[in-house]
Amino acid sequence: MASSTCNQQTNPYLIEQIHTMLHQEQTTYKCNVDYLNHSSSPVIINVKPSHRVALCQWAYNVINTIKNIDKSIAVIGIQYFDRFMSSKLGSRFLIGSREFQLAFIGCLIVSLKAREGMVFEVDFITNVLCNNLYSQCEILAIEIEVLIALEWRLNGPTPQDFVGYFLDLYSYSSMFADERVVETLKQSSLVLVEQAMTDYALALQTPSSIAYAALLSCMDESFDPLDKFALIRSVTMVSGIEANQSGQRFVRDRLVQVMQMQGVGLARASVVQKSCSTQYTKAYVMSRKKGNSCRIGTVSPSASMPRRSEFDEWYSGVLAMSRHRQKKNHSSPVSTLML
């Protein structure tokens, strides 16, 4: 582990939290099994990375439908899924797209329940979300299997967590950090992180490397080299992650490829970044002249539970979607994978 001496002003709790998360991603929550290409798999693998991409996009669509729920919940569900599929219990769900979907649905439901405290009626899941593809017994059974395979370890670090904490480091260590600029960088990076998690090759990388690559990719667009250096220096001194390490270069290069292939994700990130370029330039010059030092609080994922009326509204909305599948909605992964 790298030295924790980053800057005299750096929050010691922040450094300790980052060290803990780095340890977790390399031990308890580590996922580095290439389960879609595992030669020693006990079953014949009949699913492809493209199936996983479709399910990830479906998860984002579902989360977007629910009010007051952040997309980080979908990312958490995706992380559960990759860890589950890497386990012995999860390997049997590689035999076909139907089983693969069931495992993904189970992981998404667990993430909504465990991290957001949401309660679902089983018939709602089977009838609305799954279009009766799976029975209530199958839904209940997969939730239990996921929890057993994950050993009830459901609070691992996410790329979004690392984005927030790395930006906190940057804010503490840089004399010229501007809160508006930091927030813009954060939002741009989160867009890249969400798209990165749909890519199978990137999903097998550590959350910290994905977050770091997203931050550096966004800073490449229009941020001052001195600010980029401040981020690199602070992250390297605390985490030991080198921007030029071969593994980190792979993640950055792959992230660029994913953005180029998906197009929309890259455009969104660029728009957010460019929309603040003029504002950033003014704030940057003023902060250097005045010697201002902006600080932001520690970022941690949180979202309030939707009120009952909001949940009912969402429920009605999903029901309406399920009745109009001809309009190409993705209220069920069945239509996403086109089984």
All domains of the chain, ordered by start, with CATH?
29-155 (1.10.472.10), 158-290 (1.10.472)
Task: Tell the residue number behind the tokens 């967590």, with chain if given.
Answer: 161
Give the pLDDT confidence of 120-158 residue by residue, as tens digits: 778 878 887 888 889 999 999 999 999 999 999 999 999
Among 3-12, 63-72, 311-320, name the most confident range.
63-72
Residue corresponding to tokens 């080198």: 242
pLDDT at 281: 33
C-alpha distances (whole Å) from 35 to each of 30, 74, 124 are 13, 20, 31
What backbone torsions phi and psi does residue 217 show, to the nearest 5 degrees? -65, -40
* pLDDT tens per residue, range 162-178: 999 999 988 876 655 67
Lowest mean pLDDT among 82-91, 102-111, 236-245, 325-334: 325-334
Q: Is 95 exposed, middle or buried (0-12, 13-18, 19+ CB in 10 A)?
A: middle
Across 193-204, average pLDDT: 94
Q: pLDDT by residue (tens digit) across 300-324?
A: 333 333 344 444 454 344 444 444 4
Three-class HEC string of 205-254: CCHHHHHHHHHHHHHHHHCCHHHHHHHHHHHHHHHCCCCCCHHHHHHHHH
Max mean pLDDT range (204-218, 273-287, 311-325): 204-218
Query: What pLDDT does residue 266 have?
Result: 47
Q: Choose the most confident range, by mean pLDDT, from 68-82, 265-279, 293-307.
A: 68-82
Per-residue pLDDT band for 8 (boundaries 50, 70, 90) equals very low
Stretch 226-234: mean pLDDT: 85
* pLDDT in the model for residue 328: 44
pLDDT of residue 333: 53
**Is residue 77 scored above 80 in pLDDT?**
yes
pLDDT score recorded for residue 160: 96
In the predicted model, is pLDDT for residue 326 greater than 70? no
Which structure tokens are listed for 191? 């867009």
If one compares 149 and 9, the residue with the highest pLDDT of the two is 149
| pTM of this structure | 0.76
pLDDT at 102 over 90: yes
Q: How confident is the model at residue 9 (pLDDT cuts 50, 70, 90)?
A: low
